[in-house]
Amino acid sequence: MHRFSATKRLLDLIGDLPVVSNLGPTTDELWHAGHRDRNFYTYGSMGLCSSIALGVALSTDDKVISLDGDGSLLMNMGAIATISRESPANLIVVVWDNEQWAQTGNQASHTAFGTDLARVAEGCGIEKTATVTDEEELESALMQALEQDGPWFIVAKIREEAESMPVAPNEPELTLHRFRASYGA
């Protein structure tokens, strides 16, 4: 499965629901797949995507989708335990697991050597987990996650494409105000 095509499929499923995206290729591809007011792109703040999504989930009744990366979550694994402790029923974490730190030169991450982030989430107390390897499995896991209470933790195994997407505009302040304004704040 490739992230760009899977991202487009995810956007088709979620309507107007908010998405928080990991820095680097995840944000670039989300922007190209469908820039929208409810996309909260993170820039540079590695490891904080799911923590920011947790904060959003605790502030709204909407389902909130975090599009995180394996390398970033590995750097801030405590975020998974905090998500379990707070247990927001409306949070859906999707980890694009390419088994590498792609943005900085495709160095192999721990998930290439046996670390299983879905089992880490289970160990932290998150009961609703899934590991998916193709778009059909991802779509069915997402549909379940959209219908049933979470928190959900979905590891999506992906392969990097040879060509990376052009970098999305770097607009942190605009992103913050646009996203807040979409909630009337």
Q: Which residues bind ligand TPP (CB under 6 A)?
A: 22-26, 44, 46, 69-72, 98, 100-104, 109
**Torsion 64-155-150-120 (CA) sign:** negative
Query: At closest approach, how far in Å is the CB of 119 from ligand TPP?
Result: 18
Collapsing DSSP to helix, strand or coil, 46 comes out as coil
Choose among Mg ion, ligand TPP, none what residue 90 binds, the Cβ cut-off being 5 to 8 Å by kind: none
* Closest separation in Å from C-beta 98 to Mg ion: 4
Q: Using the rule CB under 5 A, is 7 a contact of Mg ion?
A: no
Query: Tokens 């494409």 sit at which residue?
Result: 161
Residue 71 binds Mg ion (CB under 5 A): yes
Q: Which is nearer to ligand TPP, 27 or 129 (CB)?
A: 27
- Contact between 24 and Mg ion per CB under 5 A: no
Q: Are 23 and 44 in contact (CB under 8 A)?
A: yes
Query: Within 10 Å of residue 185's Cβ, how many Cβ atoms?
Result: 8
Q: How far apart are CA 75 and CA 57, in angstroms?
A: 21
Considering beta carbons, is residue 57 or 67 the nearer one to ligand TPP? 67
Q: In terms of CB distance, is 11 or 74 closer to Mg ion? A: 74
Give the number of other CB atoms < 10 A from CB of residue 100: 18
Q: Which residues bind Mg ion (CB under 5 A)?
A: 69-71, 98
